[in-house]
Structure 1
Amino acid sequence: MTERKPIQTWLSDMDGVLVHEGHPVPGADVFVKRLRESAKSFKLLTNNSIYTPRDLAVRLRAGGLDVPEEAIFTSAMATARFLDDQRPRGSAYVIGEAGLTTELHEIGYVLTDIDPDYVVLGETRTYSFTQITKAIRLVEAGARFIATNPDPVGPSNEGSLPACGAVAAMITKATGVEPYFVGKPNPMMMRHALNAIDGHSETTAMIGDRMDTDIVCGMEAGLYTILVLSGVTQREQVDRFPFRPSLIVDSVADLVDRI
């Protein structure tokens, strides 16, 4: 097996890796500090399309993690880049919040329910039956169906919440049209993130807490993959998958000396 080159770029998931239910994972502050002090590039990736990078940076800072907004890359950002490449200055009917609508406005998209090119489904805490019905009718009329991520549920202090993937399944059931998911595990999201910092797959590591999104996404993008056991996937579950991470550690605290 060819020996990999030293890691020069770090990509990391956020929920389950750096924060857990809104609280920093022990050692995450030291890990982020070491990243910022090093000469290595890094991006924090999240499938959450609700917040802008600036919003997320403020939320992380409140928990003691000092991350610049430029180091955060969301599924909303990946979705905007995908649409800008596919159909520049197009139009979309959007179900989502500021994290998604801001990115689409910035690439020159018109947000409309009048004969849009796309229906774009993102995350929101207030999914509306009226909006979902409108989305179904627009997809039936020929609008292309895009979703920011396939996650079926999201975390909250009260328990699981229906997320983008679950609502997308509802629209698919009603229309027979499958969405194109841009966020993880689509490796396109990581390629967009790497392009933003001029990173290269052969010298990049991806840290995640989920085998079915973070690790498979990193593997398919040709990255060195690291599973942390501070989130969703536990050690005894790893062998159930037909692929393995390059490394398994308890948390990002165990990676500080590798930066």
Structure 2
Amino acid sequence: MDPRDRSVHCWLTDMDGVLVHEQHAIPGAAEFIAALRRNDRRFLVLTNNSIFTARDLRARLAATGIDLPEENIWTSALATAAFLAEQASERTAYVIGEAGLTSALHEAGFVLTDQQPEYVVLGETRTYSFEAITKAIRLLLAGAKFIATNPDATGPSTEGPLPATGSVAALITRATGVEPYYVGKPNPLMMRSSLNRIDAHSETTVMIGDRMDTDVVSGLEAGLRTVLVLTGSTTRTGVDAYPYRPTHVLDSIADVVPLVERWAPSAEELAGG
């Protein structure tokens, strides 16, 4: 058997550009989720967006016709909180971000403060404050450690690109000389935390994404098979610009739906774990 076609027990998929585009479901997205649930496959939908909580994103997806439990959503904010919960000694942080990030850190037991925090944690927000950025710079110069949810330089909007976490992190780094540790894609840590979340093994898990430079590379570095769909950032000709390749290149998530059945493990495989 071609190793690219061995059984798949678990699935990870990016959200924007794979399941939705500009708040509209991509054809086949709802059917893909339904196929996963019908076949009792473990799965997570991933996003580098740290603005929204999983509950918020579930509601936004439901409005597009995609029925997804919130426990099947994994954001860079949740991954950041899970990472810091294992790393922090004091569990104090000064946070620039929205409810997705602040609520994730609260639930992980962090106290959010601007008084000698152990960490400065930078996420995405639509209202970056000069005052908050200045405070972050001064706290880092005083010895706080710098974490950012994701390195994306821009985010989408109906009017065009907006500065995002990576751009603001670059500003803070220029002012302090302190580089952040990015938790979200393309850091394979995001993949590893996702695998742990659903008790998945890299050899029997597939990552679906629309970007070679985040989704595919982080999946590859975590030891997963990868599927690139062409409904988002990377075009078919654009694949050749990279020194690595996805396992499969498909037109859209609709083309992945038959693979959920085709790659379903046998009863013997499931019985053996």
- Range class of TM-score, shorter chain: over 0.9
Deviation of 1:2 after TM superposition, in Å, equals 8.0
* SS of match in other structure, 2:255: helix
Contact 1:11 1:205 in 2 (8 A): yes
Tell me which amino acid in the other structure corresponds to 2:110.
Y
Q: Which residue of 1 aligns with 2:271?
A: none
Contact 1:89 1:108 in 2 (8 A): no
Q: TM-score, normalised on structure 1?
A: 0.98
Find the aligned partners of 2:89 and 2:35 in 1 and give their Cα distance: 39
User: After the TM superposition, which residues 74-113 of structure 1 pair with which residues of structure 2 at under 5 Å, given as runs?
Assistant: 74-113=75-114
Q: Which residue of 1 aligns with 2:133?
A: 132
Deviation of 1:152 after TM superposition, in Å, equals 0.3
Question: Unpaired runs of 5+ in structure 2?
Answer: 261-273
Q: Which residue of 2 aligns with 1:3?
A: 3
Deviation of 1:3 after TM superposition, in Å, equals 2.6
Tell me which amino acid in the other structure corresponds to 1:98.
A
Q: Which residue of 2 aligns with 1:223?
A: 224
Q: 1:53-109: per-residue Cα shift (whole Å, max 9, x none)?
A: 011000000010000001000000110011111115510000001100111111111
Q: Percent identity?
A: 65
Tell me which amino acid in the other structure corresponds to 2:3.
E
Contact 2:90 2:118 in 1 (8 A): no
Contact 2:54 2:75 in 1 (8 A): yes
Find the aligned partners of 1:38 and 1:102 in 2 and give their Cα distance: 32
Q: 1:139-161: per-residue Cα shift (whole Å, max 9, x none)?
A: 11110000000000001111101
Contact 2:212 2:234 in 1 (8 A): yes
Deviation of 1:36 after TM superposition, in Å, equals 1.6
Q: 1:149-187: per-residue Cα shift (whole Å, max 9, x none)?
A: 000000111110110000000000111111000000011
Query: Residue 186 in 1 paired to residue 187 in 2?
Result: yes
Find the aligned partners of 1:133 and 1:226 in 2 and give their Cα distance: 41
User: After the TM superposition, which residues 106-125 of structure 1 pair with which residues of structure 2 at under 5 Å, given as runs?
Assistant: 106-125=107-126
Q: Which residue of 2 aligns with 1:240?
A: 241
Q: Which moved more, 1:89-98 or 1:199-208?
A: 89-98
Find the aligned partners of 2:150 and 2:163 in 1 and give their Cα distance: 13
How many positions carry a matched residue from both structures? 259
Q: TM-score, normalised on structure 2?
A: 0.93
User: After the TM superposition, which residues 159-178 of structure 1 pair with which residues of structure 2 at under 5 Å, given as runs?
Assistant: 159-178=160-179
Find the aligned partners of 1:156 and 1:88 in 2 and give their Cα distance: 38
Q: Which residue of 1 aligns with 2:26?
A: 25
Find the aligned partners of 2:184 and 2:232 in 1 and give their Cα distance: 19
Find the aligned partners of 2:253 and 2:144 in 1 and give their Cα distance: 42
Tell me which amino acid in the other structure corresponds to 2:207.
M
Find the aligned partners of 2:164 and 2:251 in 1 and give their Cα distance: 27
Taking structure 1 as reference, are residues 219 and 112 closer, same or farther at Cα in structure 2, changes over 3 Å only?
same
Q: Which residue of 2 aligns with 1:37?
A: 38
Query: Residue 252 in 1 paired to residue 257 in 2?
Result: no
* SS of match in other structure, 2:186: coil
Contact 1:43 1:71 in 2 (8 A): yes
Tell me which amino acid in the other structure corresponds to 1:3.
P
Q: Which residue of 1 aligns with 2:57?
A: 56
